[in-house]
Amino acid sequence: MLDLFNNKYAFLKKQPKYEFIIVIIIVALLFILLRYIDHKEMYDHYKTKGLVSCDANASTCTIKTALPTNVNFDEIALNNNYLNYEILSKELVVDEENYQTYYELTLSTTTSLTNQEIVDLNFYYNKQRIITKIKEKMF
């Protein structure tokens, strides 16, 4: 075998190992992923259903739903589409049988819906960075 440390020409002809380059690429990708997780924010969400009631001319519709008291929402998605809404009433109701409280929420929207339709509602709350949520789950 050639003595690579003493023979300069043999050392220059030696091909590099690709494993080292692959390790560098993987480390760089992990660093990019960690940076993304550190800066990206996300919501917790609560899924429920609501009943639509429309008036005669159907220009505005109201949606009635029940919501736990621990959910203070920032955004609402109706059938996976964000909607513009106005809160008409938010009434605290006590379920004496199960000893629980919840809000009976009535929302007004101009989204085209049909009367007596049941829609999927997704309430988004507690916006935090992903890394913070992971820390809370771990510890």
Two tokens, residue 99: 């000893």
* CA-wise closest residue to 65 among 129, 5, 125, 120: 120
Which amino acid would we find at residue 107? L
Specify whether 35 is located in the same domain as 51.
no
Report the predicted TM-score, pTM, of the whole model to 2 decimal places.
0.68
User: What digits encode the pLDDT tens for the residues 2-59?
Assistant: 565 667 777 677 777 788 889 999 999 999 998 988 889 988 889 999 999 887 776 7
Specify whether 57 is located in the same domain as 80.
yes
Specify whether 111 is located in the same domain as 134.
yes
User: What digits encode the pLDDT tens for the residues 54-111?
Assistant: 877 767 788 999 999 888 888 888 888 887 888 898 999 998 898 899 999 998 887 7
Specify whether 45 is located in the same domain as 65.
yes
Specify whether 25 is located in the same domain as 93.
no
Query: By residue range, what is the domain housing residue 99?
Result: 41-138
| Domains in the chain, number | 2
Could you tell me if residue 2 is inside a domain?
Answer: no
